[in-house]
């Protein structure tokens, strides 16, 4: 039995390397080729097209060309990666024919690492006449392992619950600092995230931008203080992060169609009515 492969395949392998780091933060990184990064050690949060993925030891991250992505790791890590460009018939992207997930769990990490070490060894032999052919074959063997791993349920989906849990801490931070001057950049920096990306993902989860959430929580806090304390309007304005009472009054009225003093008066009248009713009964 014989067979032939008629598709013309153009392979460009640009780099093969191992990276070791203490922590890593990369924002809006764009490259001209694919980067296939295997995580030997560590845990990484990687973002792509508004979604966030968690990649752990034994996973492969596949970063697309000409598409910005983020990589965040707060722990020590070791990555095995190679940069590659694959074209079928010289113009069709190989990965468009065989699409893979952003993160794939490798079925046999020991085998993958062994093949990568072979590729790395050949890549470093710059005087080897067969270096180009051998390294291309070995890169294909790694891609084959990734493709087979994805078939066996190794494709990871965006971990949206993980995002939500992390941003709950942002809400706690806002609630504990309502009297301070809170900025979007400050909130994004807490998690070492690009402010624009942070704002976009935050809105996807909560339906509000970070700064509109700050405003909402300030208004809710103001209502609680008006309902439960006898503090002056000026004091409440300061505790809720407003520069002066006129600004606070204007914002409160726009949010609830009533001024702070009118709202407090309505609450007191409601309480008196309830107490009188209970006494009459």
Is the pLDDT assigned to residue 87 strictly greater than 80? no
CA distance 105 to 239: 49
Same domain, 132 and 103: yes
Q: What is the mean pLDDT of residues 228-256?
A: 90
pLDDT digits 0-9 by tens, 8-49: 677 788 888 898 887 777 777 778 888 899 999 888 888 777
DSSP 66: T
Domain count, the chain: 2
pTM of the model: 0.56
Q: Is residue 189 part of a domain?
A: yes
Same domain, 145 and 179: no
| CB-based burial label for 241 (10 Å; 0-12, 13-18, 19+) | buried
pLDDT digits 0-9 by tens, 151-162: 765 555 555 444
Is the pLDDT assigned to residue 73 strictly greater than 90? no
Of residues 272 and 88, which shows the higher confidence score?
88
Domain endpoint, select from 99, 127, 156: 156
Mean pLDDT of the chain: 80
pLDDT of residue 3: 41
Look at residues 108, 135, 30, 25 and name the one whose alpha carbon lies nearest to residue 71. Answer: 25
Q: Do 122 and 134 contact (CB within 8 A), yes or no?
A: yes
Same domain, 133 and 114: yes
Is the pLDDT assigned to residue 235 strictly greater than 90? yes
Same domain, 125 and 172: no
Same domain, 90 and 198: no
Q: Within 10 Å of residue 179's Cβ, how many Cβ atoms?
A: 14
- Write out the residue range of the structural domain in which residue 57 sits: 9-156
Q: Is residue 204 part of a domain?
A: yes
Same domain, 148 and 177: no
Same domain, 132 and 245: no
Q: Is residue 39 part of a domain?
A: yes
Q: What is the mean pLDDT of residues 263-271?
A: 78
Is the pLDDT assigned to residue 275 strictly greater than 70? no
pLDDT of residue 50: 67
């Amino acid at each position: 039995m014989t067979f032939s492969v008629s598709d013309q395949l153009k392979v460009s392998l640009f780099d093969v390397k191992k990276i070791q780091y203490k922590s890593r933060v990369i924002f809006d990184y764009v490259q001209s080729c694919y980067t296939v990064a295997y995580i030997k050690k560590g845990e990484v949060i990687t973002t792509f097209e508004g979604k966030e993925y968690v990649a752990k030891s034994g996973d492969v991250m596949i970063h697309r060309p000409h598409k910005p992505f983020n990589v965040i790791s707060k722990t020590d890590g070791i990555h095995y990666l190679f940069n590659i460009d694959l074209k079928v018939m010289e113009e069709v992207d190989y990965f468009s024919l065989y699409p893979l997930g952003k993160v794939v769990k490798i079925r046999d990490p020991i085998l993958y690492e062994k093949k990568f070490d072979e590729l790395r060894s050949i890549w470093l032999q710059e005087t080897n006449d067969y270096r180009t052919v051998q390294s291309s074959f070995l890169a294909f063997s790694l891609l084959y392992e990734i493709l087979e791993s994805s078939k066996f349920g190794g494709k990871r989906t965006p971990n949206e619950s993980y995002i939500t849990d992390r941003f709950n801490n942002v809400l706690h931070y806002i609630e504990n600092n309502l009297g301070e001057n809170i900025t979007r950049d400050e909130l994004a920096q807490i998690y070492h995230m690009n402010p624009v990306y942070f704002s976009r993902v935050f809105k996807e989860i909560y339906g509000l931008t970070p700064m509109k959430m700050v405003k909402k929580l300030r208004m809710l806090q103001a209502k609680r203080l008006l309902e439960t304390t006898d503090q002056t309007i000026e004091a409440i304005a300061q505790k809720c992060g407003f520069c002066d009472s006129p600004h606070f009054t204007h914002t409160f009225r726009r949010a609830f169609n009533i001024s702070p003093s009118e709202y407090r008066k309505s609450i007191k009248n409601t309480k008196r009515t309830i107490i009188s009713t209970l006494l009459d009964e």
